[in-house]
Chain A
Amino acid sequence: NAGVTQTPKFRVLKTGQSMTLLCAQDMNHEYMYWYRQDPGMGLRLIHYSVGEGTTAKGEVPDGYNVSRLKKQNFLLGLESAAPSQTSVYFCASSYAVPSGSSIPGPDTQYFGPGTRLTVL
C-alpha cells in the first residue's frame, strides 16, 4: 500500500514549456486534489475531483488544467509554464464519506510527497 505518490519529484522548466504532473493513489479514494505551496504560505487549492471523469476549479486554477480518466490517477497540466508557477505541488486524496458514517462529508486528506517545480 503505497498511499499517495507523485511523479516527478523535481522538475525544471523554461518559460513557455509544458508538462504534466501525475498523482496516483491506491486507497480507492473518491476525491482527489491538487495544491500549490509557496514559501511562507499555506496550501492553496488549484483543482479537485469528486470522482472519475469529474473535475472542478479551486482557489487558484488559472494556468492549470486537470484530468481524472481513472479513479486512482489525477493529472495536473501546465500548458505554458510561467515563473509565477514556481512552487511545490502537492496532491491529496480522501474518502467521500468519513469512516463510521453513512453521510458524505469531509474526511482526512492524505498528501503525496510533493513535486518541486522551478520555471526559469
Chain B
Amino acid sequence: GENVEQHPSTLSVQEGDSAVIKCTYSDSASNYFPWYKQELGKRPQLIIDIRSNVGEKKDQRIAVTLNKTAKHFSLHITETQPEDSAVYFCAASTGAGNKLTFGGGTRVLVKP
C-alpha cells in the first residue's frame, strides 16, 4: 500500500520567515495530494490540495509543489504569522475509494 513520509516533525520559525514541509510518497499511482492544518484539540481542515496534472498551486501565502518523477511534494508558507502555528499533515490518494494515506505530521511553531 501507499506510504507517506513527512519531514520535519517539528519546525520553529520566526514570524515573517518562510516555512517548508516536505513529503514523499511511494505509490506512483497516487494522483491527489491534500494538506491539512490541525489546531490543538480541533479537527483537521484542508488548506490546499494539488492533483497530479499540476506542478504547482498557490493560495495567498500558501503554495504546494509536486514532483511526480521524484515522488515528493512540499508545502510552502510565506510571511508566517503566529496563527500559522499548528500541526500540518500531508496526504496522498490513488483514488481507489478516495482513501487518503497521511504523513506523520509537522508541528509548526511561529515565534513572534
Binding site for B on A (CB under 8 A): 31, 33, 40-45, 48, 50, 56, 58-59, 90, 94, 96, 104-114
Contacts and interface: CB of A to CB of B under 8 A. Distances in A.
Contact of A31 (B46, B98, B101, B104): B98
Contacts of A31: 97-98
B89 A43 contact: yes
B44 A106 contact: no
B41 to A, nearest CB: 8
Interface of B: 1, 4, 6, 31-32, 34, 36, 42-46, 49, 89, 93, 95, 97-105
Contacts of B89: 42-43
A59 B98 contact: no
Give the most central of A31, A42, A90, A107: most B CB within 10 Å: A42
A94 B93 CA distance: 13
12 contacts: A31-B97, A31-B98, A40-B104, A40-B105, A41-B104, A43-B102, A48-B99, A104-B95, A106-B93, A109-B46, A111-B45, A114-B43
A28 to B, nearest CB: 15
Nearest to B43: A111
Given A90-B44, A108-B46, A114-B43, A50 B32 contact: no
A104 B94 CA distance: 12
B97 A48 contact: yes
A94 B97 CA distance: 10
B98 to A, nearest CB: 5
A42 B98 contact: no
Contacts of A40: 104-105
B69 to A, nearest CB: 21
